[in-house]
Amino acid sequence: MLNPTLALDTVVCGDCVEGMSLLPSESIDLVVTSPPYDGLRDYHGFEVDLHATGKEIYRLLKTGGVAVVDHEYMPIFLKGRKPQYFNKEPLNVPSKHAGKVMTGFANRRTNGKTGPSITKAINATKCRGTIWDYLMAGDKNPLKRQHPAPFPDQIPYDFIQCFCPPGGIVLDPFMGSGSTAAAAKLL
């Protein structure tokens, strides 16, 4: 249960470490955030302690909770042995060879030998892999583009669908232009 003084759907303006300290341990299902870009952008005198932020995020995550941190690359951190929720279906992309029947797919064994080939039908969709292409910085929104480092709305939308259970609680300690909050509200 969240601190009764901090209701869900609340934006707290202030130091993120202090704000997170008001929340109870193991109360957050998913963190999706984009920390400040060090000296690359002008944050008007604000500073961030990433170490203290990380400690608070870890404290707040439920076991199996996931933290996604966007900094051009998006490291995904897991608390525990496996995600409490994982739904990769919304992340799938169309398969180039959908519907075809193909032969191959032999696996390389640990002893260096190759296993036998198999024949199988190719699914309509496939996992998009480890590189996700987002070519919409600022999402063409003039108000959002006033932020020094806009975060594409589709990034938190994809991660929320994948790692947050229905009705789960999402946190963005840095908030920025509000992309994570907007995606969480929409979903």
Residue spans per domain, the chain? 16-91+130-186, 93-126
CATH topology for 16-91+130-186 is Rossmann fold (3.40.50)
Question: How many CA within 13 A on the CB side of residue 163?
Answer: 26
Nearest of 164, 147, 169 to residue 179 by alpha carbon? 147
The mean pLDDT value of the chain amounts to 86
- Give the per-residue pLDDT at 74: 82
State what percent of residues in the chain have pLDDT above 90. 48
Give the chain's count of helices (H) and strands (E).
4, 8
pLDDT for position 1: 43
149-167: pLDDT as tens digits: 677 888 999 999 999 999 9
